[in-house]
Amino acid sequence: MRRFFLSFLALSAIICGLSAKNMVDSQTDSLLKSHKLVYIDGKPADSATQAYVDSIRQRISVFYYDQFRHFSDPAAPYFLFMSKDAQLAMGIGGAVRMRGYYDWGGAMPAAGFAPYLIPMTPDPAKMRHFDTTPSGTCLFFRVLGRNKLLGDYQLYIEANFTGYQSRDFKLKKAYAIINDFTVGYASSTFSDPSALPPVIDAQGPTNKITPTAVLVRYMPVVHDKWVFAVSAETPSPAIGADGTTTQNVDNWMPDFAAFAQYQWAPGQHIRLSGIVRTLSYRDMAAGTNHNRAGWGTMLSSVAHWGDRVTTYVTGTYGHGYAGLGGDLLGNYDLVADPTEPGRLYAPASAGYCLGLQYNFKPNLFASASMSQLRYLPAHRTDPTEYKYGWVATANVFWNMTPRMQVGAELNIGKRGNADGQHRYARRAEVMCMFSF
């Protein structure tokens, strides 16, 4: 892992010298041209108001270079409704997304392709499986405004059909941005969705860290090149208490996250992120509460190499951060200490993801990625315990129009256990999405 991080730093140093726009930006430009402004009380006439209208268009472009925007997120609203004085603009948008997938050689019991879920002794009646899901279909509202007291502000609400059986409506994000502050239910500061490679599968890379939490974040931009952020976030720990010798304790301290980022062009950056957590549990035999420190670090980057190539890199390491995402979403923040009954500890885990995208045209590209996550407990575990998982992904996407996209993907994954036993899984997927 050390060798990987050193290689990552060397690679990032080379990337920082790249700044040219490529075909990804050309596709974004085609999206920007598709937006329409609708004036509620008539088009503004004075030049000062028209200048603000132009700034609204500029802020729409920033939407596509959001620090926390992932490839699979919907495009900005097709229509923006604006008041005559240009003090308020509102857009209603969304996406209709359909996925179909086929497993063979041992079906995975989930819509997301996660190596942790690979059956080590597959059921002969479930060796192949075909299914579809509308998961990822969404609606959202975005408000852009300005106020003498607050300055520039944004409001955002998004809900996805990812609830029960991937059809129930479920809140995904709800936050306000007032100048450099973000308040609400938003992507964690300890995440970098834009540095994840494009995929069709909802699970994504094995080390994918994209939690959402109610938070308060301060994120200033310094000289257009440096971005800093610090936040307090509502915790959601995954504690492996058994209810007999150990018990969960109510959360009493927020998670604290921060990052420092250098960006040399829109949509291109290198970032160092970190999070510190308080993980609490109760020793039922001793009748005492205990607190363990959890922490995680992440290095991430996205960069354009010339006109056609884009690279995506993430590396993660820490203790007690597994519940924030990736392959170990179960109770792996704190696990039982076999040397001391009634005690839990924060195990380590490490992961990486490397992705490469090649654009044949601005609206046609292929990508490939490789990700791996390793579970690194301090004590001996059950022989059937998960030790590592990896996923290799190859796909192709075609934007038939600026707002209609189709894609096909092949995933191959492997789960390895502590006793050396391992098994592979395979999945083919197709997708169609329309943004409005």
What's the pLDDT tens digit per position in 177-223?
998 999 999 999 999 999 999 999 989 999 999 999 999 999 999 98
Confidence of residue 161 (pLDDT cuts 50, 70, 90): confident
Encode pLDDT of 415-430 as tens digits: 999 999 999 999 999 9
Residue with tokens 């086929």: 102
Residues 393, 199 contacting (CB under 8 angstroms):
yes
The crossing angle, in degrees rounded to 10, of helices 47-63 and 23-32 is: 130
Please report which confidence band the pLDDT of residue 153 belongs to, taking 50, 70 and 90 as the band edges: confident
pLDDT of residue 174: 95
> Is 27 or 126 the better-scoring residue by pLDDT?
126
What's the rounded Cα separation, in Å, for the pair 175 and 163? 20
Specify the range with the lowest mean pLDDT, choosing from 4-18, 31-45, 104-118.
Answer: 4-18
CA distance 277 to 213: 13
Q: What is the pTM of this model?
A: 0.89
Q: Above 60 in pLDDT, residue 331? A: yes
